Amino acid sequence: MRLDLTKDGVRVDKAKVGPFGSILFDSAVSVSSNSEMKTWVLEFVDLGGEMRRDVWYAFISEVVASHQFIREYGPEDDDESCFHVYGAHKGKERAMANATNSIARLQALQFLKKLLDDPIKLVPFSFLQNAPYGDVVRQTLAVNIWGGPLMTNLLLEENQAVQIARSSDEVYEGGHHIFDIDGSVYLRNWMRSPSWNTSTSISFWKNPSMKEGVILSKNLVVAGMSLVERAAETCNQRYQVAEKTQATIDSAMIKGIPSNIDLFKELLLPVTIIAKTFEKLRRWEQPHLSISFLAVAYTIIFRNLLSFVFPTTLLMVAAGMLTLKGLKEQGRLGRSFGKVTICDQPPSNTIQKIMAVKDAMRDVENFLQNLNVSLLKIRTIVLAGQTQITTEVALVLLSSAIILLIVPFKYVLSGLIFDLFTRELQFRQQTVKRFMKFLRERWDSVPASPKWNENGDS
């Protein structure tokens, strides 16, 4: 039986297997597709750990990611424009050679037993799919692989653009094509990927490269960097920032249900009942109560009873956050400011722990951990745990306050209430999902606030 990993829609995931359909051992890889192909589960037995499975997961993921890269960034098989650019018809071979070399390098490290904790970092196509700034790095790889000198005279202005790109150290983006630092051309009709239209991509290709060094070729710049090196350096910097942020989140996750409950009580204010009641009204679980709530709310709004309450609150919160930021920069708050203090729990009785209760408590623990991380991130923003993020949020609050002072408050508040009570309706679901995805990506970059454990006897 053979598996075709070149088709579109193939997915590779880590899976758990066990006897009689149980999920006991995390040592398998599942391969699925959107087509009629069934899901295949491949088990890799390794008594020493999960590294053998992780290596094969990286192998299979790299094969799938390389073919996806070719489909997304390379020209189509029947595209005659490949013969307008020197060497473009061999771009697919170059991409597959890069994937093959990365797999061989990973396999050699496996034999030498010098692997990283996550082997996926050593296979570029698979790693760049989820890495920050990875789309731009893949774009530079596409320009490097399929780009080359023009072999035919397309348009006069395009040829002039080539001459400009060759005579300068700038990356030129014309109306139709993209040019590398040595004047190599990547045609516009090959740019089918949606990532070319993102703000990050547009900013990278419009900004001129560093006018340093001597360009010998698109892969060799003396005392300078090529396009791939520039994008890879930015990707590496952002990945290091993401790892540091993830480290703060991992340190915020404490083990033990009692400790998580104490941390939850320390962070969460007693507003759970009010929040649940408002959520029921917003979801129209009881329509008559929702209608009554909206009638009362709009009556209060249009009688101008809350004209200055909300902007004043925002101003006070923003002023408090900036004040805390200034005091922290001056060193007046102390090192322990902003840390969460919880009491250590006594040793638990392990006799009463059985498998069913243990599984249920593990689910509760994971829920509390995620909730505590969210609350710790909010503390980080409010208590100036991360000054840059605190400044950004404070500026957003100040801007919102200015808008509320200019536009009549009753219309703004009525619009917000209308938004809250129509998010779950069918005509707004797609728009709300896209907006929430943007907020989720920004939220993931916020580090967690540090915590402090204190002995209960002290």
**pLDDT tens profile 174-227:** 446 787 777 788 888 888 888 888 888 888 888 755 556 677 777 777 777 888
Same domain, 152 and 237: yes
Same domain, 410 and 298: yes
| Banded pLDDT at 63 (limits 50, 70, 90) | very high
Q: Would 38 be classed as within a structural domain?
A: yes
Per-residue model confidence as pLDDT tens digits over 378-409: 888 888 777 877 888 889 889 888 887 888 87
Helix residue spans in 383-428 (DSSP H) = 387-406, 409-420
Question: Is 104 found in the same domain as 15?
Answer: yes
- Beta-bridged to residue 148, according to DSSP, are 185
Least trusted range by pLDDT, from 57-71, 148-162, 195-209 = 148-162
Lowest mean pLDDT among 79-93, 356-370, 389-403: 356-370
Please check whether residues 267 and 300 belong to one and the same domain.
yes
CA 458: distance to chain centroid? Answer: 42
139 within some domain: no
> Are residues 448 and 250 in contact, defined by beta-carbon separation less than 8 angstroms?
no
396 and 412 belong to one structural domain: yes
Q: Both 410 and 269 in a single domain?
A: yes
Q: Which residue has the higher pLDDT, 451 or 57?
A: 57
The answer on 272 and 307 residing in a single domain is yes
Cβ-contact 290, 281 below 8 angstroms: yes
Within 8 A by CB and 6+ apart from 54, the residues are: 14, 118, 119, 120
Residues 6+ apart with CB under 8 A from 14: 26, 28, 29, 30, 53, 54, 57
In this structure, the strands spanning 340-343 and 220-222 are unpaired
Give the pLDDT of residue 348: 55
Instruction: Kindly state whether residue 324 falls inside one of the protein's structural domains.
Output: yes
Share above pLDDT 70 across residues of the chain, in percent, rounded to a whole number: 81
Using CA atoms, how far apart are residues 53 and 387, in angstroms rounded to an integer? Answer: 41
Query: Buried b / exposed e across 56-86, counting CB within 10 Å, b at 16+?
Result: bbbbbbbbbbbbbbbebbbbeeeeeebebbe
Q: DSSP assignment, residue 6?
A: S
pLDDT at 62 over 90: yes
**Token pair of 285 as six digits:** 């679980």
Identify whether 137 is part of a domain. Answer: no
Q: CA-CA distance, 402 to 416, in Å (whole number)? A: 16
Is the pLDDT at 73 greater than 60? The verdict is: yes
136 within domain boundaries: no
Residue 138 maps to a domain: no
What confidence category does residue 127 fall into, taking pLDDT thresholds of 50, 70 and 90? very high
Domain annotation covers residue 450 = yes
* pLDDT at residue 214, rounded to an integer: 74
Q: How many CB atoms lie within 10 A of CB 38?
A: 9
Last residue of one domain, picked from the residues 223, 251, 279: 251
325 and 409 assigned to the same domain: yes
| End-of-domain residue from the set 187, 216, 251 | 251
Number of structural domains, the chain?
3
Tell me, what's the pLDDT at 16? 83
Per the DSSP assignment, residues forming a β-bridge with 341 are 452
Same domain, 247 and 388: no
Q: 313: helix, coil or strand?
A: helix
CA distances from 333 to 70, 327, 384, 388 (A): 54, 6, 11, 18
Q: Which one, of 407, 417, 393, 222, lies nearest residue 314 by Cα?
A: 393
367 shares a domain with 286: yes
Say what the pLDDT of residue 269 is.
56
Owning domain of residue 358: 253-454
Specify if 375 maps to a domain: yes
Residue 83 has pLDDT above 60, yes or no: yes
Q: Are residues 446 and 297 in the same domain?
A: yes
Report the pLDDT value the prediction gives residue 346, as an integer from 0 to 100. Answer: 57
Alpha-carbon distance of 451 to 377, in angstroms, equals 11
* Tens of pLDDT, residues 298-354: 887 887 767 766 787 789 889 988 998 888 888 777 777 777 677 666 555 555 446
Q: How far is 387 from 381, CA to CA, in rounded Å?
A: 8
The answer to whether 144 and 228 are in contact (CB under 8 A) is: yes
Same domain, 445 and 332: yes
| Residue at a domain's end among 209, 230, 251 | 251
